[in-house]
Amino acid sequence: MDNTQIKQQLMASFEQELDIWLSEKDSIKDGYEYETRLVRHHQNIGQKLMQLSVGSTPSNRNKKNSKPHLVR
């Protein structure tokens, strides 16, 4: 996937998250709920950016990638 495709997908994702945020932000009356939803939208955008630029995240972040060495 080249950079223009990544940029297009990211912009489409950002536009979708922004539309959702703009439609729901005025109906939120509680400050905690407002910040929680805002942070969630930021996390979604950041996660999409990471997935498009680096690839999908591993299922287990603590998994060792190397094979064990035999000790004699």
**14-68 pLDDT per residue, tens:** 899 899 989 998 898 999 999 999 999 999 888 888 888 877 666 777 776 676 6
Helix ranges (H only) for 1-72 are 3-24, 31-53
Amino acid at site 53: S
Nearest to 39 by CA among 53, 50, 25, 51: 25
Mean pLDDT along residues 7-14: 89
Question: Tell me, what's the pLDDT at 56?
Answer: 65
Judged against a pLDDT cut of 70, whether residue 8 lies above it is answered with yes
Cα separations in angstroms, 71 against 63, 66, 68: 21, 15, 9
pTM, two decimal places: 0.64
Judged against a pLDDT cut of 80, whether residue 69 lies above it is answered with no
